[in-house]
């Protein structure tokens, strides 16, 4: 059975590499190290995937590299470029393009398999009525790219209602929509998720910070939408592929249902890209 981790962040900003951090500390420049820096290059991911015997991964840039630490067009271009460069040699990864609220449309958008769309409640907003937002969404639809969107509840409802012809993935089984973003808060509001459950174009990934989304919540989502709309994701490096896979193997699923969640659902959503880049298709 093919195994794909569909929620992974990678980044190789040399300023946050271990040797650079150690140098700052050694010469007393610890104040130059931002609290939220991230460094997890493709080589680190390959090691973690191998430990879990997972064959492939959907990857996208860190928020820190796109807007949290370095908030500029140049930073976004660089972070997204690394994702695509990694995919040229690592045929086991599926590159997603990170869209921020300046809605930059690269000339090579078609080379990405899908879209990452992300903010937390205390961060700058996406402006869904911005003409530039409409423009990039039209291009995304032309390319039949799935969108992995993490935003607050009302904003996500608006996005889903306005884009019925897009395949949309809600990460963390919807946990990050709520304030505070706790499992208890998600369960309290689970009935409000019905607006997404009834949409056949809306999918859910299982990713979450270690130890991840509880099996209780994942089971409730599967019961509402079925295994064909749930996708395995770990949220690496905040979790690990091994931890997520071992957890999901505890679900009461037959082999066909496991195959949907572990690989075939995400492969179906990026089928256009896989046809154009057949060397990335897992055997």
CA-based diameter of the chain, in Å?
57
Q: Is 180 within the bounds of a domain? A: yes
Q: What is the CATH number of the domain that holds 217?
A: 3.20.20.140
Backbone phi and psi for residue 91, each to the nearest 5 degrees, phi listed first: -70, 0
Point out which residues pair with 281 in neighbouring strands: none
Query: What is the pLDDT confidence band of residue 29, given thresholds at 50, 70 and 90?
Result: low
Query: What is the pLDDT confidence band of residue 158, given thresholds at 50, 70 and 90?
Result: very high
Average pLDDT over residues 196-205: 98
pLDDT tens by residue, 98-144: 999 999 999 999 999 999 999 999 999 999 999 999 999 999 999 99
Structure tokens at 238: 């905040």
Domains of the chain: total: 1
Q: Is 23 within the bounds of a domain? A: no
Find out whether 175 and 189 touch, Cβ atoms under 8 Å: no
**Which carries the bigger pLDDT value, residue 22 or residue 234?**
234
Q: Is 130 within the bounds of a domain? A: yes
Structure tokens at 150: 């993490």
Please give the residue range of the domain that contains residue 50. 4-12+40-280
| pLDDT score of 32 | 57
Could you give the strand order of the β-sheet that contains 202-205, starting from the edge strand earlier in sequence?
4-10, 56-61, 93-99, 114-118, 147-150, 168-170, 202-205, 230-231
Q: Is 21 within the bounds of a domain? A: no
Structure tokens at 124: 């700058």
pLDDT tens by residue, 42-83: 999 999 999 999 999 999 999 989 999 889 999 999 999 999
| pLDDT score of 69 | 86
Average pLDDT over residues 266-273: 97
Q: Is 30 within the bounds of a domain? A: no
| pLDDT score of 275 | 96
Average pLDDT over residues 204-232: 96
Q: Is 186 within the bounds of a domain? A: yes
**Cβ neighbours of residue 170 under 8 Å, at least 6 residues apart?**
149, 150, 156, 177, 196, 202, 203, 204, 205
Tell me: pLDDT of 19 over 60: yes
pLDDT tens by residue, 83-97: 999 999 999 999 999
Tell me: pLDDT of 20 over 70: no
What is the pLDDT of the chain when averaged over all its residues?
94
């Amino acid at each position: 059975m093919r195994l794909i981790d569909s929620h992974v962040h990678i980044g190789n900003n040399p300023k946050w590499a271990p040797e650079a951090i150690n140098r700052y500390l050694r010469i007393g420049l610890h104040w130059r190290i931002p609290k939220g820096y991230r460094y997890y290059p493709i080589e680190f991911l390959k090691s973690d995937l191998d430990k879990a015997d997972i064959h492939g991964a959907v990857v996208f840039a860190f928020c820190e590299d796109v807007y949290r630490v370095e908030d500029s067009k140049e930073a976004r271009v660089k972070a997204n470029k690394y994702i695509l460069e990694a995919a040229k040699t690592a045929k086991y990864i599926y590159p997603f393009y990170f869209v921020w609220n300046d809605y930059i449309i690269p000339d090579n958008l078609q080379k990405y398999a899908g879209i990452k769309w992300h903010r937390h409640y205390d961060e700058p907003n996406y402006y869904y009525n911005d003409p530039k937002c409409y423009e990039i969404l039209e291009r995304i639809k032309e390319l039949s790219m799935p969108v992995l969107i993490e935003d607050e509840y009302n904003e996500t409802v608006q996005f889903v209602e306005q884009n019925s012809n897009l395949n949309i993935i809600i990460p963390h089984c919807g946990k990050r929509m709520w304030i505070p973003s706790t499992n208890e808060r998600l369960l309290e509001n689970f009935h409000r998720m019905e607006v997404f459950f009834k949409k056949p174009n809306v999918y859910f990934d299982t990713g979450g910070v270690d130890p991840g989304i509880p099996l209780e919540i994942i089971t409730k989502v599967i019961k509402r939408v079925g295994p064909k709309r749930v996708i395995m994701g770990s949220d690496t490096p905040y979790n690990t592929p091994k931890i997520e896979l071992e957890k999901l193997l505890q679900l009461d699923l037959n082999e066909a249902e496991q195959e949907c969640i572990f690989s075939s659902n995400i492969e179906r959503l990026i089928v256009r890209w896989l046809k154009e880049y057949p060397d990335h298709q897992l055997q």
